[in-house]
Structure 1
């Protein structure tokens, strides 16, 4: 780790590749959007897949200027394991972030840099509850490595106080009622749809167990909006924006809302504009994250659906399965 830290601080790495699945990848998305908002001179790519060659050529993976971070909370998801093997065949500039599992064991065996996630009172089945903690730890790790020089994590206590002062539980409950029995579409600018919305969508999918879709606002207005003209099924568009958005985007938001209200399907298709609060990326991101978590938590309580363990079964990762967790708990010593 010392040699790698020296290499990072020397400015050798111009490219950061973050590889993970699910919550691990989403934390990378938030990190990428935050670093971009801070104008950090680093090319950050997030890959939630194992086909690394479609995102970065083997030549760039092997380039001395590329630092690969492979993250998996469980250390057992197959996609990061495949990605690790591929990256390891090309470079040793790899950092592994995991709680353990096969991924952690491979990193130790290969003598690579290994950062162990160690969350307090963690929720094994739903690691998305720990996104804020993952993000905070990621900022500290990047600073310890020398990827960033600013102590960005020191800002988080102020963000926490901002969130406590600006929570809108009643507004969230009202929106949850309006969203019932609707197919939900998220719209926003890239920094929003690529990070904040991905977290919110995961909450909606996993906690409320409602399907949904995501699109960039401008892509929606150039194509998908045509399909909303005469819909019969109930849809609800959640359009996220903020006061500091580009004037063109602000005007596009207003135009989109007006057009949807004029369509023949206006009784079936509703649109809610969510004005994110906060003066900085961190304040806006976490305000939206916690507000939408409240919304979808109320929806989850309304539907009270069973998961049937579809995530752990479809991904082939028993680490998240309720039966696996219960069996491990039963083996723990008591007293």
Structure 2
């Protein structure tokens, strides 16, 4: 173990036993198995859709369900011939009608906003597919005769990302919008099994531990290219908040070079609290690569530091999930460094209770 690790704190498996009371680490380390199981569920679910009717796709969900939609939109952008929107709201866009494929996703089946959206897509006679572990959404979809990918319950929704993403891919495949994603999912399953060994607590020196020490005590800024990896940056931001109880922010290139970059002004004492993380992929647009390099020249003199991580794997799906898995592990190590249990989400639960009481 390096001197910096010793100074900052213990990131061993034993350290997790002190803080990780609900077993979040075990869930993340089984991500590879979850992807495989999600694929089995998706392949075993009968879904009949009319491709000729589909003019657009509306993915309705919140939290992890919506992130799954963002990831699929990124993964499939080069294949899709119809527009896809991810809807995080009580209401759905005005264009939703009988020409829409609506994929309604709620892990619990009881997400308030998603149930409202489900009611509306039904009223507008869209073709509907649901992804849920049960709850009200499962009951209503059953009554309405809508196909449902039934996924296992009992997970914190953010740790069920594989279950929320893979069936969505297959829904678009069954609709005739995507090629069979099975080879890409299979590669991701194998790759994440390898990364378990590299990023897990038993590996004293690994990238996830190094990056968590780099970010500890800072405000992380997660930057990525918009075309493929921006949804991963959003996932990192959410995981740092929910697992490690850290504020983090994200943005994407090239957009941030047209506005946010000007925030790096004269207040250098404040700017030193930020740590920049670049999430990079080998297919980033050449001009974006140039912008990222030039922007780094602005960030480095002012931010605490700039750290780059690159995707791993061959297929885009595997590369995306390599970055997701790294971010999940970083958030768990930061939870240990911050002395917090990575599972409870007290502010979110309090919000839900108070809304029910109002």
Q: Quick check: TM above 0.5? A: yes
| 2:313 alignment partner, SS class | coil
Q: Distance in 1 between matches of 2:243 and 2:195?
A: 23
Q: Distance in 2 between matches of 1:200 and 1:154?
A: 26
Q: Distance in 1 between matches of 2:247 and 2:85?
A: 27
Q: CA shift at 1:290, angstroms?
A: 1.0
Which of 213, 232, 236 is matched with 2:249 structurally? 213
Root-mean-square deviation (CA, aligned residues, Å) is 2.6
TM-score, scaled relative to structure 1:
0.81
- With over 3 angstroms needed to count, the CA separation of the structure-2 counterparts of 1:158 and 1:193, relative to structure 1, is closer
Pair 1:280 & 2:280 matched? no
Q: Distance in 2 between matches of 1:175 and 1:3?
A: 42
Q: CA shift at 1:146, angstroms?
A: 3.0
Which string of whole-angstrom CA distances, capped at 9 and with x for unpartnered residues, describes residues 44-85 of structure 1? 111111232xxx22xx212x3211121111111110111122
Q: CA shift at 1:271, angstroms?
A: 1.5
> Which residue number corresponds to residue 314 of structure 1?
351
Q: Distance in 2 between matches of 1:259 and 1:292?
A: 25
| 1:5 alignment partner, SS class | coil
**Residues 186 and 193 in structure 1, CA contact (< 8 A), matched pair in contact too:** no
| 1:279 alignment partner, SS class | coil
Written as runs of structure 1 = structure 2, the 5 A alignment for 1:292-311 is 292-305=327-340, 307=344, 309-311=346-348
- With over 3 angstroms needed to count, the CA separation of the structure-2 counterparts of 1:232 and 1:51, relative to structure 1, is farther
- With over 3 angstroms needed to count, the CA separation of the structure-2 counterparts of 1:199 and 1:45, relative to structure 1, is same
> Which residue number corresponds to residue 153 of structure 1?
182
Q: Distance in 1 between matches of 2:91 and 2:230?
A: 19
Q: Distance in 1 between matches of 2:162 and 2:47?
A: 26
Which of 63, 68, 72 is matched with 2:102 structurally? 68
Pair 1:261 & 2:300 matched? yes
Which deviates further from its counterpart, 96-105 or 68-77? 96-105
Q: Distance in 2 between matches of 1:193 and 1:313?
A: 32
Q: CA shift at 1:116, angstroms?
A: 4.2
Pair 1:118 & 2:187 matched? no
Which of 258, 261, 276 is matched with 1:237 structurally? 276
Which of 68, 71, 76 is matched with 1:35 structurally? 76
> Which residue number corresponds to residue 324 of structure 1?
none
> Which residue number corresponds to residue 191 of structure 2?
162
- With over 3 angstroms needed to count, the CA separation of the structure-2 counterparts of 1:92 and 1:165, relative to structure 1, is closer
Q: Distance in 1 between matches of 2:68 and 2:75?
A: 11
Q: Distance in 2 between matches of 1:131 and 1:269?
A: 31
**Number of residue pairs the alignment of both structures matches:** 300
Q: CA shift at 1:308, angstroms?
A: 5.9
**Residues 104 and 131 in structure 2, CA contact (< 8 A), matched pair in contact too:** yes
**Residues 80 and 178 in structure 2, CA contact (< 8 A), matched pair in contact too:** no
Q: CA shift at 1:192, angstroms?
A: 4.2
> Which residue number corresponds to residue 129 of structure 2?
95
Which string of whole-angstrom CA distances, capped at 9 and with x for unpartnered residues, describes residues 168-189 of structure 1? 4212111111101111111111
**Residues 4 and 93 in structure 1, CA contact (< 8 A), matched pair in contact too:** no
- With over 3 angstroms needed to count, the CA separation of the structure-2 counterparts of 1:6 and 1:291, relative to structure 1, is closer
Which string of whole-angstrom CA distances, capped at 9 and with x for unpartnered residues, describes residues 7-62 of structure 1? 23xx221211100011111111111111114x23232111111232xxx22xx212
List runs of 5+ in structure 1 lacking aligned partners: 319-335
- With over 3 angstroms needed to count, the CA separation of the structure-2 counterparts of 1:210 and 1:192, relative to structure 1, is farther
Written as runs of structure 1 = structure 2, the 5 A alignment for 1:191-202 is 191-202=227-238
**Residues 76 and 317 in structure 1, CA contact (< 8 A), matched pair in contact too:** no
